[in-house]
Amino acid sequence: MVFAGQGDPRRSMTLLWRTPDSVATARTAPGPRPGLSVDVILDAAIAIADEHGMAGLSMRAVGERLGRTAMALYTYVPNKAELLDLMYDRIHAELATDHPTDGGWRAGLTAWAEDLWGFYLRHPWVLQVSQARPVLGPHEYAMLETVAGIMHGTGLPANARRRIISALFQFIRGTAQTVAEARQAASATGLSDEEWWYARSALLTEVAPDFAERFPMVSSMETEGAFQLDDETRPYLEQEAWETFRSGLTVLLDGIEAARRATPTDQR
């Protein structure tokens, strides 16, 4: 887990909210012309993170991709934590901000959640940026604006809306993270979920022959077919997480419905 907001607050906020104008202003300063720019560095860093994950993102790697040394980056970006903040906010520009509202809040939230889920799976490194001390960049706020707009349609009071938005986030991030880690584990170990599980479960019966008696509820779930998945062609954990996402979302939406019913209309 990586931290945010370590550097000079003013500098980092200026970088986050900078407009293209402030970049394009003709330079009259002395010294050699800058060969790089914050944007170029961000593109390179994001490309590396997408390809090799957070673990592959090092200052040396970013520099190398741009034909520079690691230290050259420090002219443009105060440090790695700041670079991550900027990457984090910029990548959120990818999210849709115009979910159709005519289908009602339920359809809106579903579309938003699915968009976010896909986004996290395309850029799993985003899940590793800490949520404490949020980045507070324009694109992160744009995403919050989107979901706040949809939630407005529920008619729930403002603080209930805030809490539900947070709960949705936590849930979506968690399930997406499981998929991301499963993929990473598969490619890192060279073992698919199935191969891994096959080897482990064989060892489990060997090392805990009394499993069924020790854990009757878990065993009964197993015999009742709780671990048989709808789509056997997809990697096990991935499919499991997807089903968790789908039905967990349904459960949450049903819960919101219940909260709406419990709220007097004049408060909505």
Partner DNA sequence: CCACGTTACTTTACGCTGTAAGGAGTTGCA
Partner DNA sequence: TGCAACTCCTTACAGCGTAAAGTAACGTGG
Which of the residues 22 through 81 are near a second copy (CB under 8 A)?
Answer: none
Residue 212 is a binding residue for a second copy (CB under 8 A): no
Residue choice 9, 34, 100, 216 for contact with DNA (CB under 7 A): 34
Residue choice 23, 163, 187, 194 for contact with a second copy (CB under 8 A): 163
CA distance 213 to 204: 14
Residue 82's nearest CA partner among 162, 197, 2 is: 2
Q: Which helix (H) or strand (E) holds 149?
A: helix 138-152
Residue choice 79, 110, 130, 263 for contact with a second copy (CB under 8 A): 130
Residue 153 is a binding residue for a second copy (CB under 8 A): no
CB of 49 to DNA, least distance (A): 11
Partner from DNA, a second copy, none binding residue 58, C-beta < 5-8 Å depending on class: DNA
Residue 70 is a binding residue for DNA (CB under 7 A): yes
Instruction: From 29-37, 42-50, 105-113, 169-177, give the range in contact with a second copy by CB under 8 A.
Output: 169-177
CA triple 188-189-190, angle to 5 deg = 100
Instruction: From 3-11, 68-76, 86-94, 112-120, give the range in contact with a second copy by CB under 8 A.
Output: 3-11
Range 5-14, long-range pairs (CB < 8 A, 24+ positions): 5/81, 5/85, 5/133, 5/135, 6/79, 6/81, 6/82, 7/78, 7/79, 7/81, 7/82, 8/78, 11/78, 11/82, 12/78, 12/82, 12/85, 13/136
Residue 61 is a binding residue for DNA (CB under 7 A): yes
CA distance 252 to 231: 23
| DSSP structural state of residue 2 | B
Nearer to DNA, 1 or 262 (CB): 1
Using CB under 7 A as the criterion, which residues of the chain lie in contact with DNA when the complex forms?
Answer: 28-36, 57-61, 63, 67-72, 74-76, 79-81
